[in-house]
Amino acid sequence: MVGVSASETRSATWRGWTLGLGLVVLQCILLPQLDLMLSRTVLTNSLFPASSVLYVFLLVLGINAALAAFRTQFGLTRQDLIMVFCMTMLTNAIPGCGFMAFWVPTVVAGKFYATAENNWAVFLQHVPPEWTMTDTETSRPIEQFYMGLQPMPETFAGRMQAIPWRAWIGPFGVWVIAILMLFGMMFAICGLLRRQWAEHERLTFPLAQLPEDLVSGIDASHPRPFFKDKMAWWGIGLVLALYSLNHLAVFYPQIPQIELQGGIDKYLTERPWNSLLPVWTSIFISIVGLSYLLSLEVSFSVWFYFWVHKLICFILVGMGMADSGWYWWGDGPGYKSIFRSQGTGALLMLVLLGFWMARRELKRSLWQALGLQETDGKDEEASPRALWSMLIVCFFGSVAWLVYFGVNVLYAVPLVVLLMMILTGLTRLLCEGGLFFMQFYEFPARLLQTAVPPSALGAETFVRISIWDRVMVADWFRVAFMPVVMNSLHLATRTGLKRRSVMLGMGAAVFVALFVSFGSVLYLGYSEGAAAKMQWYFKDEWFLHKPKTYQVQQIEAYEKKLAQTDGPLAAEDIPEIARRDWILIVGEFFGAGFLLLSVWLRSYVFWFPHPIGYVMWMANYPHYQVWFSFFIGWMLKAAILKYGGSRAYLRARRFFIGLVVGEALGVILWKVVFWLTSETSGFAMLPG
> What are the pLDDT digits (tens) for 514-534?
999 999 999 999 999 888 877
* Tens-digit pLDDT profile for residues 266-296: 999 998 999 999 999 999 999 999 999 999 9
- 3-class SS string, 491-507: HHHHHCECHHHHHHHHH
| Global confidence as pTM | 0.95
pLDDT at 251: 85
**Are the CB atoms for 235 and 659 separated by under 8 Å?**
yes
78 has a pLDDT exceeding 50: yes
**Chain segment 589-609, per-residue pLDDT in tens:** 999 999 999 999 998 988 899
* Residue 607 CA neighbour count, 13 Å, CB half: 0
Cα–chain center distance at 506: 17
Distance CA 142, CA 160 (A): 16
Helix or strand run (H / E) with residue 117? none
Check if the beta carbon of residue 25 is closer than 8 Å to that of residue 512. yes
Whether residue 331 contacts residue 577, with contact meaning beta carbons closer than 8 Å, is answered with no
Q: Which of 443, 425, 410, 453 is nearest to 551 (CA)?
A: 453
Secondary structure percentages of the chain, helix, strand, coil, to 5: 70, 0, 30
Q: What is the pLDDT of residues 153-191, one digit of tens each?
A: 989 999 999 999 999 999 999 999 999 999 999 999 999
- Tell me the per-residue pLDDT of 525-573, one tens digit each, with 9 for 90 and over: 999 988 887 767 777 566 677 888 999 999 999 999 888 887 778 878 8
Number of neighbours of residue 6 by Cβ within 10 angstroms: 8
Q: How many CA atoms lie within 13 A of 66 on its CB side?
A: 5
Asked if 558 and 577 count as a contact pair (C-beta separation under 8 A), the reply is yes
Q: Could you tell me which residues come within 8 angstroms of residue 326 by beta carbon, excluding any fewer than 6 positions away?
A: 277, 278
At residue 223, the pLDDT reads: 61
Nearest by Cα to 426 from 572, 207, 211: 207
Greatest alpha-carbon pair distance for the chain in Å reads 87
Q: Which residue has the higher pLDDT, 426 or 6?
A: 426
Distance CA 262, CA 26 (A): 35
Question: Which pLDDT tens digit goes with each residue over 374-418?
Answer: 876 554 467 899 999 999 999 999 999 999 999 999 999 999 999
- List, for residues 604-630, the tens digit of each pLDDT value: 988 899 999 999 999 999 999 999 999
In this predicted structure, what is the pLDDT of residue 1? 42
User: What is the pLDDT, as a whole number, of residue 72?
Assistant: 58
Backbone φ, ψ for residue 482 (5° rounding): -60, -40
The pLDDT assigned to 2 comes to 45
Please write the tens of the pLDDT for every residue from 432-482.
Answer: 999 999 999 999 999 999 999 999 999 999 999 999 999 998 778 988 999
CA separation for the pair 656, 288 (Å, rounded): 8
**For residue range 20-68, what is the model confidence (pLDDT) as tens digits?**
999 999 999 999 988 887 766 688 889 999 999 999 999 998 877 776 6
Q: Does residue 423 surpass a pLDDT of 90?
A: yes
Of all residues in the chain, the percent with pLDDT exceeding 70 is: 94
Q: Calculate mean pLDDT across residues 680-686.
A: 70
Instruction: Indicate whether 256 pLDDT > 80.
Output: yes
Separation of CA 495 from chain center: 24
Q: Which of 13, 20, 19, 8 has its CA nearest to residue 506?
A: 20
Under 8 Å CB-to-CB from 83, ≥6 apart: which residues?
12, 16, 17, 20, 497, 501, 502, 505
Separation of alpha carbons 662 and 243, rounded Å: 9
